[in-house]
Structure 1
Amino acid sequence: MRVMTPERCEQRDAWLARLCADHYGREAGLTPLVTFTGMRQVLFAQEAARLWALVDEQQRPGALALLVLDEAGGGMRLWLSAAPGGDRESERRLIRELALKAPLRVDAADQEAEAFYRRCGITRWFALPGGRRAGLAKHHPAHGVDDLAASLAFDEAAILRRFKHDPRFFEAEKQCFVEALGAFPVGVT
């Protein structure tokens, strides 16, 4: 198994669609499609996000992770991660590899998530408002919570409005998402 980023846009879209579907699940409404669209149309277009995978010898992903630059350009936040087959160990291995090489930030909503990220090698932790915690890999430039820059993002509400007011755009994005899901490598569940 090795870590790689997709080589072609079609491969990137297939991985992103699967990551969104796996992370949000079947009962998430439009959230997977909004994230898929926002990443493709905004953050990938601005080179502000990068998709990574832990792949086997046939380049089939065992785990996927989406990283987004922060506003200062010095760090990257783990936006989403999942293992298509549900193998949390593959997901842990991928995040650990990224934490060793990237200025990575993760946000943990609870103690279970923090424990998982600690097993990924995230060692510096800070309390955030609302009971959340931010974990930083060794290459992250922040020294404290006040140094943390916000992640770049896209306007989810604007995408939803465009879906509502532009049916052709909605149908095109939905079709792209479905086709990308169908293009995910066979043999990965």
Structure 2
Amino acid sequence: MTGPVRLLIVDDHPVVRDGLRGMFTGDPGFEVVGEAADGAEALALTATLRPDVVLMDLRMPVMDGVTATARLTRAGQGAQVLVLTTYDTDADVLPAIEAGATGYLLKDAPREELIRAVRAAARGESVLSPSVAGRLMGRLRAPAEEPLSQRELEVLTLVARGSSNREAAARLFISEATVKTHLLHVYAKLGVNDRAAAVATAYDRGLLTPGGR
């Protein structure tokens, strides 16, 4: 994408919103287009402001972050939802991912990690904090290490060749949301939290080979 990443900050705590706004306003690669104090306000502002990324808290009054994420996903307005919360329990992580969040970070993430994650989300890429990746891995793994499915390998192969999620979806005749879901499963099975680490780990384990798969 060209130009700064347009960002909507959603959190019910004004101090948190102020801190995030200050962080991103100081970087020319971002434009904070608005703030919301709950999920309902986030839906209304997303429709009018058209942000590239919605930085979404989970536990808020009026409408929680999972409900807002699901409605944004169904609306298909193009905004990517990156969850930023203090909670990393299964009861929080899994519903958010299933609702359509493209990434899940914790509020104690370093500034550089958060900035990278927002940029990745704007490209439609999935990013998970290490603890969240570990939780998903624990949920998705069988007692023995679970192998990647054929479709997961196909997606990972295209990613390794430089394809974006959108390009991989077009090549495989599936939706971009399905590609993201496959990648999240790959992250969990390989114990990684982003696409670069997934590709590197797959090469290390012989799941991918140079010039082939």
In the superposition, the TM-score normalised over structure 1's length comes to: 0.32
Higher helix share: 2
Higher strand share: 1
In the superposition, the TM-score normalised over structure 2's length comes to: 0.30
